[in-house]
Chain A
Amino acid sequence: MKENLPLHAKETLIVYKRVKNPDFKPDIDSYIAAGGYETLKKAMKAGDPAALCSEVEKAGIKGRGGAGFPAGMKWKFLDRKSGKPIYFVVNADESEPGTHKDRWVIYYDPHQLIEGIVLCSYATQAKQAFIFIRGEFIHGAQILEKAIEEARAKNLVGDNILGSGFSLEIVVHRGAGAYVCGEETGLLEALEGKRGQPRIKPPYFPAVLGLYNCPTVVNNVETVCQCLNAVEMGGEKYASIGVKSDAGTRIMNVSGLVAKPGIFEIASGSVTVGELLNDMCGGPLPGRKFKAIIPGGSSMKPLRFDEKYKIKDADGNDREVYLEDVPLDAASLMACGSSIGTGGMIVFDDSVEMIQALANLNAFYKHESCGQCTPCREGSIWMARISKRICDGNGAEEDLDTLKDVADNICGRTICAHGEGEAWPVQGGIAKFRDEYAESIRRRNKGEPSPFTGYPLI
């Protein structure tokens, strides 16, 4: 067993089937022995890129980078009339706090990603591919470069791949620690050698004006792997996995205050929040009780365990359930008022003082704002200062209204979604924990002892 990747009977392993296999070696021979590159060979032999696009569309894969945009649709938007070359870019920035799923694909099964890239580039008829990998994955970048060279030696990357007439170079491009480069247009700026400041849409939709102002696809690592697997099993069969509105598997990557944080690949909707945290992740730490989660990366709104949420069951009927009984799929979490995002779930138990958690995230978004848009740049600083001041025992009663007012005035007023990303934790936090925040202000101002036993978060 790989220490951090335990298996569980409720899992449906597709992207992680080799990642979780303790005996699997990440070199190309092991990958080929496990049936790797067969999908690509078949696709090249068939010689019909459009058919591959239609399989991916039929599969109904929602993007796995956080925003959940349908992958097939993204490919369809490519401007093919301009005559400009098409670029295929993989987002391996994995920068959303709480997200740690792509890392293990890169480290343990790099050829799945390489095969996926060649297949997706062939399907979209891309001229060149880039993997934008976060700067901190120093060995991850080396592993990918080595994997590319292994694939090149077998004519699976490079000129005239498998005699198909299709050629593709894959360049591994390391970022340098900026969260905002996980935003697709910020990523493209970084790939062009510039400050990673996101571009305004319109006109800069990557599918039309992307890398070097050419039509470009930007897909997350997991999305690329899901596309490969969808083509392998056929779009319709893939679409039959999980719930209808959210086809395929979800890689739930859990962190925070739970007995055994881990990564579990499940058919969407097949496991509830309670099953994930209690059965798969071993429940709360000894003597603790679950309090809340952020379901899909730090930008998403928190959800409380002691509240009921209105969701729809498979037949479309309304159902009111506690958080524990909410199934893990995109529609259910959206119905709760949050989002499944990247599947990066952060867990809080009753030892956590939520204002500190908010101050921690505010500090993150302040550090990462690129500074282009005034509401985001100034707003993130204000919110971080206010929440820190509260934690320092200098909060004022009206601070919570001010926090909410600042957050409300960021959303929809910025070039990229970093604005929403920094505002949602504040809006969601105040909606769910206003009373606790107010009590923290009162108690901290008086210097009374804290009932919370958790680690300091700010």
Chain B
Amino acid sequence: MNNNIGSESANCEALAAATGLKPETLAKADKIVAKYPQKRSATLPLLHIAQEELGYVTDAAMKWIAAKLEIEPINVYEVVTFYPMFRLNPIGKRHVKVCRTLSCALRGSYKTMEALEAEFGCKRGETSADGNVTLEFVECLACCGTGPVVQVDHLLYEKVTPESVPALAEKIRASLTDPGYGKKVPTFGDRTEWLG
């Protein structure tokens, strides 16, 4: 173990480079860490920004976060495995999450899932053969009054019935070729900007 501080920060820089994250993401990480009274608190936000850019949490990202927050890589790994939103493997280009919990199920979310499975040709928990879509059943998304709800990446779709699945699938397919997808910063108030 090398206790020389200078080489530790050099080590952190090397680990940062190994993640392949963009310089602006790394700069954002510095800002995030500075917001907290204790560095370790930044574990979840750093995992979020790494996953958002890389698609999943890579070994290199975990090592970098550990060095940056002065904790052991196992401390980052144990967090990744605890929280359902973090993943250790790549998924499809669009992450389609269907709420499975009671309020949405009462409104037919199991049927919605079946329709999505038929639409994309893969089962829940799987990625479609073309690598475009990963289907997942998730627990309550806190939009129980307008169930069944489906969250596609950052967008939430309400009242998704088997009948409206084809239209949703069409939107998802169209988004694959949309260069502006996911880049729009939502303005206040307009529901259509953050709901799909």
Task: Give per-residue flags for B78-100: 1 if the beta carbon is below 8 A from chain A beta carbons, else 0.
Answer: 11001111100000000000001
Asked if B21 lies at the interface with its beta carbon under 8 angstroms from chain A, I say no
- Min distance, Cβ B112 to any Cβ of chain A, angstroms: 9
- Give me 12 A-to-B residue pairs in the complex whose CB atoms sit less than 8 angstroms apart, sorted by A's number: A97-B103, A100-B142, A143-B188, A176-B48, A177-B138, A177-B139, A193-B40, A193-B44, A193-B75, A194-B79, A256-B144, A455-B107
The answer to whether B121 has its CB under 8 Å from any CB of chain A is no
Nearest B residue to A192, CB-CB: B41
Q: Which residues of B contact A (CB under 8 A)?
A: 35-38, 40-45, 47-48, 69, 71, 75, 78-79, 82-86, 100-103, 105-111, 138-147, 151, 154, 158, 185-186, 188-189, 191, 193-194
Is the pair B102, A364 in contact by a Cβ cutoff of 8 Å? yes
- B82 contacts which chain A residues (CB < 8 A)? 178, 195-197, 370
Report how far A375 CA is from B43 CA in the complex, Å.
29
Contacts A142-B186, A176-B44, A457-B110; A368 near B141 (Cβ below 8 A):
no
Chain A residues within 8 Å of B158, by CB: 4
Q: What is the 8 Å Cβ interface bit string for chain A, positions 231-272, against chain B (1 contact, 0 not)?
A: 000000000000000000000011111000111000000000
Instruction: A146 to B36: give the CA distance in the assembly, Å.
Output: 18
Closest Cβ neighbor of B48 among chain A residues: A174
Q: Specify which chain B residues have a CB less than 8 angstroms from the CB of A103 in the assembled complex.
A: 142-143
Interface presence of A308 (CB below 8 A): no
When C-beta atoms are compared, the residue in chain A nearest to B147 turns out to be: A255
A403 on the B face (CB < 8 A):
no
Chain A residues with CB below 8 A from B185, complex form:
142
The answer to the question of A80 belonging to the interface, with a C-beta cut-off of 8 Å to chain B, is no
Which residues from A are CB-within-8-Å of B100?
360, 363-364
CB B189 to nearest CB in A, in angstroms, measures: 5
Interface hub of A102, A177, A346 (most chain B Cβ within 10 A): A177
Q: How far is the CA of A97 from the CA of B154 in the complex (A)?
A: 20
Docked complex Cα distance between A169 and B34 (Å): 12
Residues of chain A within 8 A (CB-CB) of B145 are 4, 100, 253-255, 261-263
Partner of A136, one of B111, B141, B147: B141
**Which residues of B are found within 8 Å of A361, using beta-carbon distances?**
102
